[in-house]
Chains A and B, each alone.
Chain A
């Protein structure tokens, strides 16, 4: 089945550091990928929709200059948390849909997330 790989799985860094998270679709092409954020014991909140070859679409309240998204190829999207601060500590999860098979109603497949801890 469709596999989404996310790297790194965990990052611990000092305040002010910029952190890049990679999301890859391993066995399918994804023109669209999604980035979610999840706080402990809470649900997934959509941050942005990443579109291959164009600008990402950010949800209301998500700072686009803070969370830089690049979708340079059909299998890779990156999320960069710039000048991270402790309040940015969270679980970041990417997702993609294999739109090449079966039309638009296909499940989104998720990576295993990146646990970001800012000291």
Chain B
């Protein structure tokens, strides 16, 4: 079955530094990936997504890299700010209809040190 996991459960970074959060997935049939940010007591908030026909996608201060060969993706946050402190989840969807749900990884807590 599909499983999505993370290499680092916690990450502390200095304000202004770049953050890199990693994620591994197991199902080679996964073709769509999303990173979410979850603050305490709230639902996940969409950050960025990437389709399997891409290796890299950039947003505002964030970049997602996808390596399908080793089934790995990462989220890079540039110039990390205190407001970036949260739990970050990767999620993936197996190729199929639009009703296929996302499978979530375990999450990484990012703590930004001011």
Could you give, for residues 30-55 of chain B, a 1 whenever the CB lies within 8 Å of some chain A CB and a 0 otherwise? 01101010000111111001010000
Q: Contacting chain B: which of A11-19, A44-52, A69-77, A78-86?
A: A44-52
Beta-carbon contact of B104 and A93 below 8 Å: no
Contact among A4, A42, A49, A115 for B41, CB-based, below 8 A: A115
Could you give, for residues 21-63 of chain A, a 1 whenever the CB lies within 8 Å of some chain B CB and a 0 otherwise? 0000000000110101000001111100101000000000000
> Distance (Å) between the CB of A4 and the closest chain B CB?
8
Beta-carbon contact of B106 and A107 below 8 Å: no
The answer to whether A112 and B107 touch (CB under 8 A), given A43-B89, A44-B89, A99-B98, is no
Q: Which chain B residues numbered 45 to 103 have a C-beta less than 8 Å away from chain A?
A: 45-46, 49, 51, 89, 91, 93, 96-103
Residue pairs across A and B with Cβ atoms less than 8 A apart, 13 shown, are A42-B107, A44-B44, A44-B89, A46-B103, A103-B98, A105-B93, A106-B98, A108-B34, A108-B101, A111-B43, A112-B41, A113-B42, A115-B41
Residues of A with Cβ closer than 8 Å to B?
4, 6, 31-32, 34, 36, 42-46, 49, 51, 93, 95, 97, 99, 103-113, 115
